[in-house]
Structure formats: structure tokens, C-alpha cells
Structure 1
Amino acid sequence: MHVTLPDGKVLELAEGATGLDAAAAIGPGLARAALAITVDGEERDLSRELPEGATIGIVTDRSPEGLALIRHDAAHVLAAALLELYPGIQISIGPSIEHGFYYDVLPPEGVVLSDADFPAIEAKMAEHIAADETFVRQVVPVEDALERYRAEGQRFKVELIEDLVRDADPDHPLETVTLYTNGPFTDLCRGPHAPSTKRIGAFKIQSLAGAYWRGDASREQLTRIYGTAFFKKKDLTAHLERLELARQRDHRKLGKELGLYHFSEAAPGSAFWTPSGTRVFNDLVGLSREMGDERGYTEVKTPQLYDSSLWKTSGHWDKYRDDMFLTATGDVATAAEEGRAIEPNMGFKPMNCPGHYELYRQTRWSYRDLPVRFSEPGLLHRNELSGALHGLLRVRQFCQDDAHLFVAEDQIQDEVTACLRFAQDTYRLFGFADEDFTYELSTRPENRLGSDEMWDRAEGDLRTALEANELPYVVHEGDGAFYGPKIDIQFHDSLGRSWQLGTVQIDYQAPERFDLTYTGADNAEHRPVVLHRALLGSYERFVGILLEHTGGALPFWLQPVHVALLTVSDRHADAAHAIAGRLRAAGLRVEVDDRTETVGRKIRETELGKVPLMAVVGDREADEDTLTLRHHGGEEDAPAPVADVVERLGAALRSRALSPAG
């Protein structure tokens, strides 16, 4: 038999050869390093036979797929350990994820898992890894698998198999399922797996969380056990060090320390912004407005609450209703007395799009008016599950730097390019470098609206814009919205994590659904195309990302306090407040600390607050009208006249400088 290697070379093997045989034929070193094999792009176990004519690739610890493979192995080892430690525990699913793996379980009655259990779990897992247990694949009849898991009392596994049978193509009913066994443990799994547990070089159980079975809040709440695994101990150590740094930079911790915002059960999932936090928030909104004005955007303001008819036209009433906050109009009290239910007929907006469509169609537009660029820092509400809420990164109420552009088809390319350049100009103001970004082009999904010709044109416009601007991008086949393709802008922060910030999307369907038109040069009506555009995303989420990226040391222009003046004694308060007035007149935000505390204590507290500049005001400063600025971190400038300090810092603020040095 013959198979083809990635370089095009044809490899001749004995009939019935496996993936391991192929690796050995290439070289003994590769056979020892092999973890799995790709067959025409599909990952498989090394022990499976190869089909004639396949294109193959060997997966090793150097392959992109390698880490995910052993993390999946580690999830199985975790489940095996839990079953031994906690007889009667119910196991459900255990996949690999971006930075590790997890397994969802339902502990026996009376057992509550906690961090204190981690050492015992890790010790039991280490036994299975040291035993070098082989992962054995079996294809068994559905009824045999059901009988097995019913006998073991593993009802989640039974439900998974029953659902697979139910959801199978009626023309090709499911007759078999795949099981994997390592040591005493057998799991329902599609695979693949590495040859044995020994390939898991280093691992760590990290945390616990709650998770509803099948993501359904009406079902059982399971315990999700998170862990991670690496090939080498040093890689695990480096990963854990990054996680510790991330914990130190957690925006929830920094937001509290810096006094920017807090959360309360009075409004779950909604931030209460303090005066300091509100300054930061308003500066971001002001930046969006200023830069939008310069680029031809017109700010609009649309309602919070809409009749269901609008949401039905947009499609959200059917597809997004469970994620919306709904309410009803009418005599609710009387209906309650009479025992009548009032169906919700209004919804708070989770996005601005339908409101902008409604606004657009209230005016007759000419081709001369296009592009029409509506922007709105719109307040939005989404009914996120309580377990999904996460500080500023996942909230129920947020404000988005949203915009919708109504353009003629021949304007799409120029406007997409302009959006991408707008994004770059915005990000540079926060000190983000161009190389910190990658771009994702998401193309037509299987379940889509519109013709192939439309998709060809739209995808081509986005691709051309990316290439014309020499932006690095990857293609995500089939990951576009149902109405059109999109570009997502990914930011890689100082800890190496990836965050989606901006997006540009092409929408041919909304103009049809909302009957949007403009009058062309031929005096006939034409459909515009809608471009959805956000650059920072939600301001809340962006603040969270920025805090973690900078460790709380925000750019100078965005700081809630630019300068702190610290008095030596009460007699210096008047001079400090007079200097503060001159700095404020230049637009700077200044605080005067004239408490009867020692200067040393004031300096320490100001440093902890990450105020970028401080200056002590004593006899010399009051008499000579000078300031000696001390930068956050300890560096100190030479004494300078207050007038010079005011001019220099005012210029740095006006130019949106990253640091007070300009």
C-alpha cells in the first residue's frame, strides 16, 4: 500500500500498516516521538490501520496538535483518579481546551470537592501516568455501551449515547460508538489519544467551577475541575508563573485597588463606576467621538426598549430571545388578579443594529449621501447566566463603541480599509504595537443567507482590504455570520493572551429585512450594504483588558489622576491648592493630599494608587514656585518652575501621550 507524506513523497508500506508503522518506516526516532497521525487532515490513533492513498502526517510533541492531545489524555486520567477516590461519582465530559483540560462531574451525595482535595487527586493521577497505561480503542455496538454504563450507574454517559442515537441521520442510524480504556477506566470518546499515559510529562490541577449539565440552567449543576498539562516540567512551571502574574494583574483586583468600579448584588452583572472610574470611561467615549467626528461619523441616540415587532423583523426574537431582557406592556396588575398571563411584547436592546436600521429608514437618502455612518456609544443589556459573569469582561449591562455604515456596493472596499486604519490609529494611542495584532477572516457558514456571488464579492472585499494594508490574517472557514463574512481583530497582550477587540462585518441581509433603500444616480431605488463596525468593543471589557495588559499603569492621558501634590505640613496647603488650580486649568486632573500624615506615608499610598506623577510641596516649592516631579516607580525629575511643568504636562495630555515625558 502507498501513502503520501506532507512533502509529497510517497511511502510504500505493507498491507494493513498502521500509523506507527508509517512513523517507523520514516525513522526510529520519529516512531519513538510519535503521538498520533493525521490521515487526510483527520487526527487518528497510531494503532489504527491506514487507508490506501491517504495523505498522512505524524503528530509529535513539536506539532501544534500535540499539547491538545496529551491534555485530552490528562482529562481521562483525571476521571480515572476521581472514580477511584470518590466511589459513586458521576462523570460527564472531559475535553481539552485552549490552555488545559477539564472534566465535569457530579460528586456523590455528601461530598463537596475543594482545593484541599487537589493533592490527593494529583497523587492518584501520577500513579496512572507512572503506570504507563496504554490507551486502547474499542468500537462497540450502541446497546453494549448503554448496557455497560447503565450497569455502572453513569447516567450522563447513557444520556450522551442516547442523544447520539437520536441525532443521527435517519438514513445512516448510529450502530456503534467508540470507547477508550486506560488502566481500569473506560470512557466514551471519539479520540484520538497518545499511545499511553506516560506521554503526559507534567500536569497540575488548577481550580474548580460550577457548570450546568449540557449548559442548561434547568439541569444539574456539576463540578468542573480544571487542569493543565505539558510535555516538560519547565513548560508547566513557566505557564504557572504566567498565571500567577495574571492573578496579580486581574482587573477585578486592580479595579478595587485603584478605586475605579465595584459590583453589587443590587444589580448583578452591572458595574458601579466611581468618580475615578467614570473619568476613565468618559475619556474612552470621548476618544471614540473625537476620532469618529474626524472621519465622518454622525453620532445618534436610539431607544433602549423596542416592541417585539422590531426584534421579529431583525430575527432576534426567534434566535436571540433567551439572551434578552423582556418585559410586557398593559395592565399587568389586573391580569395578575384575573390569573391571566401577559406575554412579553417588548425587549431591551442587546445590540444597536436594529435601532440604527429603523433610524436610517426614516429618511430618504440619495447616492450622494452615502456612506452614511451612524455611531452610538449605546447602552446594551444581555441576559448572561450568573455563572458566566466575570468582572468587566462579561457583564449584563455594557456600553459599546458601535457603528453601522450604510454604503453602496462600490464603496465597500474603501470603507472597510478606512475602518481597519481607524482601528490601528485608535490602538496606537494605548501603546499597542502593530505586531501585537492578528486578524481573522471568517468566511461563509453552511447555514447562510444570500447567493454565492454575494459571498464571493463580500469575502473578496475583506481579503483585499487586509492584503492592501499588509495585515497578517488567518482564514476561519465557515465561521462568518449568517448574513456575511467578517474580520475580527485579535490583540495579544503583555502576558501572551489573545483578546478580540474590533470587528468589521459585511451585511447584505439587514437591508432586505428592513427594506432599506437609497436613490441612485439613475433615479431608481437601490439597496445599501451595511457594515457593522466596533473597535474597542464594549468599553467595560476594554477597561478590563487594558488593566490586565498594563498591570493597572494606564496611559498617562487616560489616568483618573495625573498628578498628586503632597503637603509637608498644614502651612503648605494653600500653596499646594494654588499649584493644583494652575495644573487643572491646563486640563490635568490633580489631587492634593493635605492630610496630617507623614510625607513618607503619603508617598507610599500614592505609589500604590499608581498615580503617574507626584510632587511634595514644602517651604522651597512654596517660596520658589517650583515642583520636583516624582514618576510612578521612583524616578525623579530635576526641580522646575511650576509654569514649565504646567506647559509640559498640558502638552503631553493634549497629545494623548503614553507617559508624562510626552
Structure 2
Amino acid sequence: MIKISLPDGSVKEFEKGASAMDVALSISEGLARNVLSAKVNGEVWDSNRPINEDATVQLLTWKDTDGKSTFWHSSAHLMAEALEALYPGIKFWIGPPVENGFYYDVDTGEHSISSNDFGKIEAKMIELARQKNTFERIPMSKAEAISYFKEKDDEYKLDLLEGLEDGTITFYTQGNFTDLCRGPHIPNTGFIKAAKITNVAGAFFKGDQSNKQLTRIYGITFPKQGELKEYLTMMEEAKKRDHRKLGQELDLFAFSEKVGKGLPLWLPKGAMLRERLENFLKKAQLKAGYLPVVTPHIGSKKLYETSGHWEKYGEDSFQPIKTPEEGEEFMLKPMNCPHHCEIYKARPRSYKDLPLRLAEFGTVYRYEQSGELHGLTRVRGFTQDDAHIFCANHQVEDEFKKVIDLVLYVFKSLGFDDFSAQISLRSKEDRSKYIGNDEDWDKAEQAIINASAEKGLDTVIEYGEAAFYGPKLDFMVKDALGRKWQLGTIQVDYQLPNRFELEYVGADNQKHRPVMIHRAPFGSMERFIAILIENTAGNFPLWLSPEQIAILPISEKYEDYANELFLDLQEQDIRGYVDHRDEKIGRKIRDAEMNKVPLMLIVGEKEQEERKVSVRKKGEGDIGQFSFEEFVTYANKEINKNIPKFGVK
């Protein structure tokens, strides 16, 4: 007999070889009908895989992230079976689940697949799903696996097999389709009731532009038809909120092929939006004791060799820039932290200087693959609201908690309520990709866990997601599509102070090594603004809106009064524009609404005589007539009402 421990603390006994499905059936048949897979000792397994020793078991359904992942992994195999039936001779590379659905990279051979083919692929998938074919796991020797794919003339799977060892190779079969796969999978195809092919794109084999370009086919599936309908409705709404579309319509940013892919150009209104966000955070940072610094856009290659960034990220950086002086090489800055280490080192430091908090809105450059670029969320040049806190060991937890407070303040002020906190630690198995000793890592990891718990954050722990120099706390924010994006981040680092030989003189008059905390509440200005655009659909709060007011004269006779109002409002730091066009007032109002201007000031004969304005609020219509002074009071109240005071609980 074996003992199975369940999440509720109960322990059940089963015969050796029982499966998670047997565990589910022992609880209720209703539960068993919904089980997609199971987490056995922390690893996701097929629900029918035999368990031969005592284990902790968590049953996974559609409500669980790992359950959905299993469902979509199996759906990728179902799509592959449909593709093989529709396009004989097609070959497959990899087909993983993603956050919303799955994709498969395929070599279509003599065939071509476009959006015109989506309907027949979906129909074939549902036809095969209704056969309720079982996903069968088949362990296989490497020699057998090589023989199978040689006979199939599949160079892509043969390439995958090169990195695998005997004893670790498994195939999965469902219906007429067999694939090299480690699993896990759902019990049978019948769980899949609705399917949608969402996109087709190019993808280089192994992500290498020198290799053949494959076809990447994206899809999503659901256990109920109604859930697909809900998803498609959400997708339609998301299209309206797409930051790329709104960014163009609202004149916020642009891209130019001549400037280069992934390098955004901020237009005047976008620059004003950025400026307000920057000023908002700078004000909070000054209250929190941060000191501003500025560093160059380039640095000597030696700087990044010292930090370890060249070794770890050299291939993802823009290559060294050679200068006329022999042997001199520079790089576009991929990180701000090495520069800040050198600022710390610019003069001797005492324990009385600590914690030293250095902040910079620093632009950095990373060479992302062309196929990975996406609006503002994935770019090659971006600005981080970066800061580095140099502190003593005993100050780490307290400083970490203060940064959590700052991140939560930013999210609350901007309406980012749907977020989760992820504690990213080292991989338990592979420690080779991390620098530093275990003692420092253990201290850093425990400091993050303690600080997060004390602040009451609802966290998940992800092993293997730490930075190469230290663990971190990442804030994952959902966008209008339900996708998660990492925005705010806080990292504890014992390694860079060692590499840069940073020191301070302690109260004992001895030299000590500081600890470094990296933090960026926005993450990157570009990605943060992209998510902000989509979450607000471009309807920014009044304090943040690039154009807070539009002054709309009824006719040319009142333009002088409109211009006078405009200048007086600028003096009150209320910004906008005067619509001088020779258009009817109805058209001016509609256009201001389309441009998402929060407040419209209509001026005509009566307003000019009485030095008043008739005010319309976007989405509400007329809100009355105001004297100039009354409007300034009203506008300032509206501007400030949604911004909590930093540091006030």
C-alpha cells in the first residue's frame, strides 16, 4: 500500500500503482469527470499514470493554471493530428501551451496555410475530439525513437532527440497521431469541446534567422462552447483597446523603419504622458529619500564584463561599438546597475551614508529578435524607472518592505488592481546559471519571503526565475486580454557589490560589503504605458491625461477669449489646446470626445461677457457654467482626487 497526501491535509491509502484518477474516483465521480491532470510531488503528471510510492497529490481541473496548461498542451497535439490529416507530409517542431492557448511550429512542405484555412482546421479538430481518443504515454528507448522518426523522415524530431538520454524519452499517441513528448496530457480528446485557430505567423527553426522559416499556428480551446464565445467577445473588446491602435489614434507614439524596428518615437502627447508619469514617481521617490543620478547611454565593454552581464546577455545586447582608438570597445547600455555601482564607488562610503538610494530614468537597449517585437510591450530601446539601494545586511528587509510600499502606491494610484506577486528563486536542480555562494543566496531569498509575508502579499514561488545575480519579487499585472505582464520588480543582490568591490566603513571602523537592492515600480516606461493604455482604453485619469482640456470657441469671434483662457489655465498648470478650426461646435465636441479629452470648455458670447466657461465632461455631457476661478478649483479637485498621498496609510 502507498499513502497519498491531499491538499486538505487528509491522507488516503491505495494499492501501489494507483493513479491520480483513482484518487479522484475515491472522492466523487463528479470530481473525476473534471480532472485533467495531477500534481504529484510538485510535478504535473497524467491523471492515469501509476504512482508507486508515497506522494502528495493535487488534482488539477480547468480552474487550475496547470490544468489549463495540460488542456492546451493536449490541444496542440489534437491540432497536429488535424493538420497531418489535412496536409499529408507536414512536419512538426515543437507545440507548447502558452498563457492563452497553444501553438505548433510546423514545416508545411508543399502546402501553405493561411487564415482562409482556419475554419477547416477547427472543424477537423472537433471531429477528432468527438472520437474521445485516449492520450497514451509510451516510454521508448532512444534507438527506437530515432528509428521511428528516420522512417518518418522527420529531421526536426531527430534534432530534438539529440539532447535526450535513454530512460527519459516518451511518446504520446492519440488516434492516428504519435509525437515525441514528455507530457502530461488530459485523459482523452473528448474533453475538448470548442476550438479556434487564432493566428498564423513565421518562426525560424530554433529561433535562428539563419535556419529555415517554419509556420507557427496559434490556437485556443475550451471545455465548453460558451467559454469560447466569451473569449471571442473579450478579444473583440481587446482589439478596441490595443495600445498600438490607440497609440496611433491618440498621437502618442510612432515607429519608423528608417529609425529602426523596436525603437519607439514619442510624439508630443505621448511625451507629455511620460513626463507626468515620471514626475509622479520622482515626487514620491524624493519623499522616500532617493537621490537622482544620470548615466551615459553607452559604457565600456569592460564594465559589463565586470558585472557579468556580457557573459550572460552578450548575445541579446547590441554588439560592441568600436572606436578609432585601438582596443577600445563600447556597448549600448543594456543595464543601469553597473553604472550605479561606479557612482557608489566614486567616493569613500561610511555606514552613516547607508542606505544610499540612487534613482534614474535610464534608457537601455536590448537586441530583441524581430519576430518578438510587439508595440511598446517588446522593444529594443526602453526606459526603466531604475533605482539601486546600497545598504547594510541588517537594513535589507526594512528597505525591501519600503520598496513594496512604493510599488503598491504606484499601482493603486493608476488603478492596477488585478495583479499578483511572484517570488522568483533559483532553480532547485540547476545552479550553474547563477553567480555567488549559497549562503548569500539563502539570506537574499529569505529576506524577500519574510518581507512579502509581513506586507501581506499573496505570493506564488517560482523556482528557476531568479536573475543570475539574485532572487526577486515580480509584480505581474493583467492586461485587457487577461495576459500577465511583469511590471514592477524588486531584486536583492549580494553579487554585484562583490564584483565591483564596493565597500563602506562600519561603526567598528572596519570595511564591509554593502548589499544592493534593484527596483523599478513601473518596470519599463514603454511596457507600463502600453498596459495603462489598454486598461483605460485611452481614457486616462485627468491628472495624467496629456490634454486635460479642450477650449472650443463657438465661432471665430471668440478665439481671442479662448486664447486668453488657455494662457491663464496654463499658468494654473492645467493643460490642453484651443480648437481653432472652422467647424461647427457639434463637430468640435465630437472630435474632442474621440480624442478622449476629459473636459471641454465651450465659449461664446455669454461666456465672454461674464468671463465664464460652459463645461462638458467626457461621458457625462454638460455639467454647468463656471467662472474662471470656479473652474480652476473644480479642475484641481478632479485632478487630485484619485492620487493618494504617498506614505499616508
TM-score by length of 2: 0.93
| Structure-2 residue corresponding to 1:593 | 579
Q: Which amino acid aligns with 2:572?
A: A
> CA, structure 1 residues 480+597, in 2 after alignment: closer, same or farther (shift >3 Å)?
same
CA deviation digits over 1:5-26, x for unaligned, max 9?
Answer: 4155554555654554444444
> CA, structure 1 residues 524+33, in 2 after alignment: closer, same or farther (shift >3 Å)?
closer
> CA, structure 1 residues 15+653, in 2 after alignment: closer, same or farther (shift >3 Å)?
closer
Q: Which amino acid aligns with 1:247?
A: K
Instruction: Report whether the alignment pairs 1:141 with 2:141.
Output: yes
Rounded Cα–Cα distance in structure 1 between residues aligned with 2:59 and 2:459: 26
Deviation at 1:207, TM superposition (A): 0.8
SS in 2 for 1:639: strand
Aligned ranges 1:182-197 → 2 under 5 Å:
182-197=174-189
| Structure-2 residue corresponding to 1:540 | 526
Aligned ranges 1:243-262 → 2 under 5 Å:
243-262=235-254
Instruction: Report whether the alignment pairs 1:569 with 2:551.
Output: no
Name which of structure 1's ranges 211-220 and 499-508 shifts more when overlaid on structure 2.
211-220
Instruction: Report whether the alignment pairs 1:48 with 2:49.
Output: yes
Contact 2:83–2:121 (Cα < 8 Å) also in 1: yes
Contact 1:556–1:657 (Cα < 8 Å) also in 2: no
| Structure-2 residue corresponding to 1:339 | none
SS in 2 for 1:241: helix
| Structure-2 residue corresponding to 1:353 | 337
Aligned ranges 1:439-478 → 2 under 5 Å:
439-445=421-427, 446-447=431-432, 448-478=434-464
Instruction: Report whether the alignment pairs 1:290 with 2:272.
Output: no
| Structure-2 residue corresponding to 1:325 | 318
| Structure-1 residue corresponding to 2:305 | 312
Instruction: Report whether the alignment pairs 1:638 with 2:639.
Output: no
SS in 2 for 1:628: strand
Rounded Cα–Cα distance in structure 1 between residues aligned with 2:528 and 2:146: 48
Q: Which amino acid aligns with 2:270?
A: G
Deviation at 1:460, TM superposition (A): 2.8
The one of 485, 491, 508 equivalent to 1:522 is 508
| Structure-2 residue corresponding to 1:270 | 263
Contact 2:90–2:109 (Cα < 8 Å) also in 1: yes
Rounded Cα–Cα distance in structure 2 between residues aligned with 1:366 and 1:549: 45
Instruction: Report whether the alignment pairs 1:117 with 2:103.
Output: no
> CA, structure 1 residues 20+556, in 2 after alignment: closer, same or farther (shift >3 Å)?
closer
SS in 2 for 1:101: strand
The one of 364, 368, 371 equivalent to 1:380 is 364
Rounded Cα–Cα distance in structure 2 between residues aligned with 1:539 and 1:176: 44
The one of 190, 199, 202 equivalent to 1:198 is 190
Rounded Cα–Cα distance in structure 2 between residues aligned with 1:415 and 1:16: 50
> CA, structure 1 residues 370+12, in 2 after alignment: closer, same or farther (shift >3 Å)?
closer
Unaligned runs of 5+ in 1: 166-173, 333-341
Rounded Cα–Cα distance in structure 2 between residues aligned with 1:421 and 1:328: 40
CA deviation digits over 1:328-371, x for unaligned, max 9?
Answer: 43449xxxxxxxxx988221111101111112111111111111
Deviation at 1:655, TM superposition (A): 6.7
CA deviation digits over 1:159-180, x for unaligned, max 9?
Answer: 1112224xxxxxxxx2562111
Contact 2:241–2:480 (Cα < 8 Å) also in 1: no
Contact 1:92–1:104 (Cα < 8 Å) also in 2: yes
Instruction: Report whether the alignment pairs 1:484 with 2:466.
Output: no
Name which of structure 1's ranges 607-616 and 496-505 shifts more when overlaid on structure 2.
496-505
> CA, structure 1 residues 285+157, in 2 after alignment: closer, same or farther (shift >3 Å)?
same
Rounded Cα–Cα distance in structure 2 between residues aligned with 1:569 and 1:5: 78
Name which of structure 1's ranges 561-570 and 439-448 shifts more when overlaid on structure 2.
439-448
Deviation at 1:536, TM superposition (A): 0.7
Rounded Cα–Cα distance in structure 2 between residues aligned with 1:419 and 1:29: 46
Q: Which amino acid aligns with 1:288?
A: L
CA deviation digits over 1:45-101, x for unaligned, max 9?
Answer: 344333143444444445543322221121111111111212222211111121111
CA deviation digits over 1:303-352, x for unaligned, max 9?
Answer: 222222111111122211111112343449xxxxxxxxx98822111110
Rounded Cα–Cα distance in structure 2 between residues aligned with 1:552 and 1:478: 36
Name which of structure 1's ranges 257-266 and 453-462 shifts more when overlaid on structure 2.
453-462
Instruction: Report whether the alignment pairs 1:367 with 2:351.
Output: yes
Deviation at 1:217, TM superposition (A): 2.6
Name which of structure 1's ranges 209-218 and 387-396 shifts more when overlaid on structure 2.
209-218
SS in 1 for 2:388: strand
Identity %: 42
Rounded Cα–Cα distance in structure 2 between residues aligned with 1:422 and 1:35: 40
| Structure-2 residue corresponding to 1:335 | none
Contact 2:238–2:480 (Cα < 8 Å) also in 1: no
Rounded Cα–Cα distance in structure 2 between residues aligned with 1:641 and 1:409: 58
| Structure-2 residue corresponding to 1:390 | 374
> CA, structure 1 residues 546+176, in 2 after alignment: closer, same or farther (shift >3 Å)?
closer
Name which of structure 1's ranges 131-140 and 539-548 shifts more when overlaid on structure 2.
131-140
Contact 1:212–1:220 (Cα < 8 Å) also in 2: yes
Unaligned runs of 5+ in 2: 645-649
Aligned ranges 1:156-167 → 2 under 5 Å:
156-165=156-165
| Structure-2 residue corresponding to 1:401 | 385
Q: Which amino acid aligns with 1:310?
A: L
Deviation at 1:657, TM superposition (A): 5.3
Rounded Cα–Cα distance in structure 2 between residues aligned with 1:17 and 1:468: 41
Rounded Cα–Cα distance in structure 2 between residues aligned with 1:213 and 1:581: 59
Deviation at 1:256, TM superposition (A): 0.5
Contact 2:34–2:61 (Cα < 8 Å) also in 1: yes
Rounded Cα–Cα distance in structure 2 between residues aligned with 1:302 and 1:616: 46
SS in 2 for 1:70: helix
SS in 2 for 1:629: strand
> CA, structure 1 residues 10+515, in 2 after alignment: closer, same or farther (shift >3 Å)?
closer
> CA, structure 1 residues 470+132, in 2 after alignment: closer, same or farther (shift >3 Å)?
closer
Q: Which amino acid aligns with 1:407?
A: C
Q: Which amino acid aligns with 2:278?
A: V
Deviation at 1:546, TM superposition (A): 0.4
Name which of structure 1's ranges 259-268 and 642-651 shifts more when overlaid on structure 2.
642-651
| Structure-2 residue corresponding to 1:70 | 71
Contact 2:420–2:459 (Cα < 8 Å) also in 1: yes
Contact 1:82–1:89 (Cα < 8 Å) also in 2: yes
SS in 2 for 1:132: coil
Deviation at 1:405, TM superposition (A): 1.0
Instruction: Report whether the alignment pairs 1:85 with 2:122.
Output: no
Rounded Cα–Cα distance in structure 1 between residues aligned with 2:157 and 2:567: 69
> CA, structure 1 residues 327+37, in 2 after alignment: closer, same or farther (shift >3 Å)?
closer
| Structure-1 residue corresponding to 2:200 | 208
Instruction: Report whether the alignment pairs 1:280 with 2:273.
Output: yes
Rounded Cα–Cα distance in structure 2 between residues aligned with 1:197 and 1:650: 59
| Structure-1 residue corresponding to 2:647 | none
Contact 1:133–1:197 (Cα < 8 Å) also in 2: yes
Name which of structure 1's ranges 231-240 and 476-485 shifts more when overlaid on structure 2.
476-485
Q: Which amino acid aligns with 2:93?
A: S
> CA, structure 1 residues 52+359, in 2 after alignment: closer, same or farther (shift >3 Å)?
closer
SS in 1 for 2:528: helix
Q: Which amino acid aligns with 2:249?
A: E
Name which of structure 1's ranges 487-496 and 626-635 shifts more when overlaid on structure 2.
487-496
Name which of structure 1's ranges 56-65 and 543-552 shifts more when overlaid on structure 2.
56-65
CA deviation digits over 1:357-396, x for unaligned, max 9?
Answer: 1121111111111111111111211111111111111111
Rounded Cα–Cα distance in structure 2 between residues aligned with 1:485 and 1:55: 27
Instruction: Report whether the alignment pairs 1:299 with 2:285.
Output: no
Rounded Cα–Cα distance in structure 2 between residues aligned with 1:431 and 1:19: 41
